[in-house]
Amino acid sequence: MSNLDENQVAIIDYGLGNLFNVERACAKVGLRSIITSDKDVIRKSNGMILPGVGAFGDAMGSLKRLDLISFIKDQIDRKKPFLGICLGMQLLLTESEEFGGYEGLDVIKGSVVKFKSVGEVSRKMKVPQVGWNRIFFDRTQSYAQSDSIFQNISNGEYMYFVHSYYAILEDSSFVLSKTNYENIEYCSAIAKESVFAMQFHPEKSGLEGLKIYKNWAHKVNEYKELEKK
């Protein structure tokens, strides 16, 4: 096993989904990463990635069993760079309506709800949404352009999505981008202090998606420099 201090970022493994593609994207942008559920390893890392596909309830149950819930929140409080992907973004919210309701990490106030057809629909709405959709930056976000995770990415760029549920935030100032699926406009990315999270999969979104990993890697390096001082 390699020296813990050499691993720059921790990909949090809570037993759900495929983490290898996240690992490969990190490697592609020069971020050393380790897939782990070990608190010591995560504590010593310079950034945390919470990936995940699957069910909200299963994920929270698994984080609870691994005793990671308050730990992750504490690491976020310490301003360690955090990247949430797909379910990893949804878990940040207060609650999900999935199968009767589950509590989330409550880092961001809001809830997670399921796609339902709105208004007149000519044919069945396909759920989950699977495929490419556009992200539009919320202009009210001061750092949406220059200092953001979306640096060098065009407004309206296509990213790859797979999800049945979406997040509704209480405070819209944390909304970094919006996306429209079958006439439902929803929050597709979140920024709050050192927390960045997105509903889509940047590791599956071609060169544009890799730019997000690259931008996040800058934040990890900045944090690392600060910690050294």
Partner 1 sequence: MAKNIRIIPRLDIKGPNLVKGIHLEGLRVLGKPEDFARFYYENGADELIYIDVVASLYNRNSLHDIINKTAQEIFIPLTVGGGLRTIEDIRSVLRAGADKVSLNTAAIRNPEFIHKASRMFGSSTIIVTIEAIKQSDGRYFAYIDNGREYTGMEVFSWAKQAEQLGAGEILLTSVDFDGTGMGYDLDLVKTVSEAVSIPVIASGGPGRLEDIKRIVTEGHADAVAIASMLHYDAIKKLKLNLDSFVEGNVEFLKSGNVFTKFNSVSLPRIKKYFSDEGIPCRLNSEQNAYV
Give the up-direction half-sphere exposure of residue 55: CA atoms within 13 A in the CB hemisphere. Answer: 10
* Minimum CB distance to partner 1, residue 207 (Å): 7
Per-residue binding string, partner 1, 43-62, x by CB under 8 A, is: ----------xx--------
- CB atoms under 10 Å from CB of 87, counted, come to 25
Q: How far apart are CA 57 and CA 77, in angstroms?
A: 24
Active site residue 201: yes
If we measure between CA atoms, which residue out of 112, 97, 88, 98 comes closest to residue 18?
Answer: 88
Q: How far apart are CA 190 and CA 169, in angstroms?
A: 9
Tokens of 205: 């979104």
For residue 129, state whether it binds partner 1 (rule: CB under 8 A). Answer: yes
Active site residue 86: yes
Task: State which residue, 121 or 226, has the beta carbon closest to partner 1.
Answer: 121
Site for partner 1 in 76-115 (CB under 8 A): none
* Minimum CB distance to partner 1, residue 218 (Å): 19
- Cβ(208)–Cβ(20) below 8 Å: no
- Among 71, 160, 192, 221, which residue sits at the site for partner 1 (rule: CB under 8 A)? 160
Residues that bind partner 1 (CB under 8 A): 16-18, 20-21, 24-25, 28, 53-54, 123-133, 154, 156-158, 160, 162-163, 180-183, 203-210
- Catalytic residues, by residue number, are 86, 201, 203
